[in-house]
Structure 1
């Protein structure tokens, strides 16, 4: 029997389970809704699915290293209390070990990885059923260190912020950690201005231009003066979000670019994860995506 979108929608409404789980259940039960509900219950999915609409914006970040690979990742829960639960901490370690032993690049792929005979997705689902809160693997990045490369990492003591920098060139462990600490504290959005797109630069300039023109203190000023003011403010703003332009947090009299030059390295990749950042927007985007699929 062909599993239709309408059947998936009906099963999802009845159980709260995810669309992929509903589709799988219907395929396994030849499209029988009642049997599909039973199948989901037997798999322990519906118990976890009841929590699927909650927002999991707490949790912890993690980092795992093996050989020439490093993975940084974020696992979310609904409350910070559960994030300190020993079972959650064990799950965090299992996820890190699974990811660092893989070559996947997307969460969907990662959830299908084998963990002692079951998928990572099933492992997380079982943890949800036991712990009683929604838990999600939100994101991860795997960095591989080639010859003449090195890495700097830092996980904040509360495990809510992790930073990793991949360098071209060899830097000491301490210096690499200091730079990762800087990224954690100063939140640069880009490694350098060269990474900023023309659309981003144009948008930022347009915002500053509008602000300048709407400021009563600038009334009557010639356009060329306003243009110089905007350029000055834009340069200052870009310097604040560009890693290479920032004052080094360990030595504010020195720019990060100068510290890197002194250590004969350059930054190839920068990762910074903070628990929960941007999660509300992701929830809105996901809801819109689900509705679009249901309407098909």
Structure 2
């Protein structure tokens, strides 16, 4: 039996851009013949998929799934909205999203999960779909939330199909109260999150570097003020930041006379028990994809398992 060395796999990978495991399989199937392995990969469409991986995939769909007390969100990118409206692509995103809850927000675990109805993992199946559909695609990110008791409420904005759209939101509500009523409350809060785009649950959850940056900006704007005055200005500025950016402090879009925290408190009588928002996820399609083409191409290759 021909011995396949790491050097052979790397050489084939450098020639084709295909994944490590695909290169190893190709060499095994062709008894170590590099040129034959290149043809093998081309026939499988894997080399073609690798060449497309440098192109920006900034469109696509957000998939959302809620399974009992666990929920997950996935972003799968394509190059154009035309493909995002393609039934094959929608099926791909829906199937991947269906695996996301078990992956628990771990992208590597999701990519290595077996794609439904095949022997391939998600990563390999996506590469094959690139060759079939003709556009670069990538599973960009995934996150998950869960509750011990209560519900996970979901919401899709700009919905294009069941569980698929341009903005996906999940909200985790801990409560021993009536679940249908609790879910309806969660759905309303999820709609608020989609519209208001909070950065965190409360001020304590805002990263320390963000708070320090806000303080530095306030200090810069108010140079020359007495220390005690500056301290009050900064304190007031951070409170204003929380009202604009922290979910519990934001004005509730369904009733702007109250905050989200007040709305949740008032809902407890309807739910029949105390209610606590323990977490949320908000994915907006293409969020953060504003980099140069070559930088994003490298990110795509790494996510697809093709980074060097």
TM-score if structure 2 supplies the norm length?
0.80
Of 251-260 and 70-79, more deviation after overlay is shown by 70-79
Q: Which residue of structure 1 aligns with residue 37 of structure 2?
A: 36
The equivalent residue for 1:107 is 107
Q: Secondary structure at the match of 1:11?
A: helix
Equivalent-residue separation in structure 1 for 2:279 and 2:138 (angstroms): 25
CA-to-aligned-CA distance 1:52-106 (integer Å, 9 cap, x gap): 1111111111122344433221111011121011111121222223334x34542
Question: Which residue in 1 is equivalent to 2:216?
Answer: 206
Of structures 1 and 2, the one with the larger relative CO (CA 8 A, separation 6+) is 2
SS at match of 1:111: helix
Contact 2:54 2:298 survives alignment (8 Å) = no
- The alpha carbon displacement at 1:288 in A equals 11
Deviates more, 1:201-210 or 1:81-90: 201-210
**1:59 and 2:63 aligned:** no
Unmatched 5+ residue regions in structure 1?
A: 214-219
**1: CA distance, partners of 2:256 / 2:26:** 58
Root mean square deviation of aligned Cα:
2.9
Check whether the contact 1:167–1:268 (CA below 8 A) recurs between aligned residues. Answer: yes
* Contact residue 163 and residue 272 of structure 1 kept, 8 A: yes
Task: Judge conservation of contact 1:247–1:256 (CA < 8 Å) in 2.
Answer: yes
CA distance in 1, matches of 2:217, 2:153: 35
Asked if the contact 1:59/1:83 (under 8 Å) is kept, the reply is yes
Cα-to-partner distance string for 1:137-156 (whole Å, 9 max, x where unaligned) = 1222333443x311221101
In the alignment, structure 1 residue 152 sits paired with structure 2 residue 122? no
Deviation per CA, 1:108-130, whole angstroms, max 9, x where unpaired?
22122222132222322222111
Q: For 2:135, which of 114, 133, 136 is the aligned residue?
A: 133
Structure 2 unpaired stretches of 5+: 160-164, 268-273
Contact preservation (8 Å) 2:63, 2:74 = yes
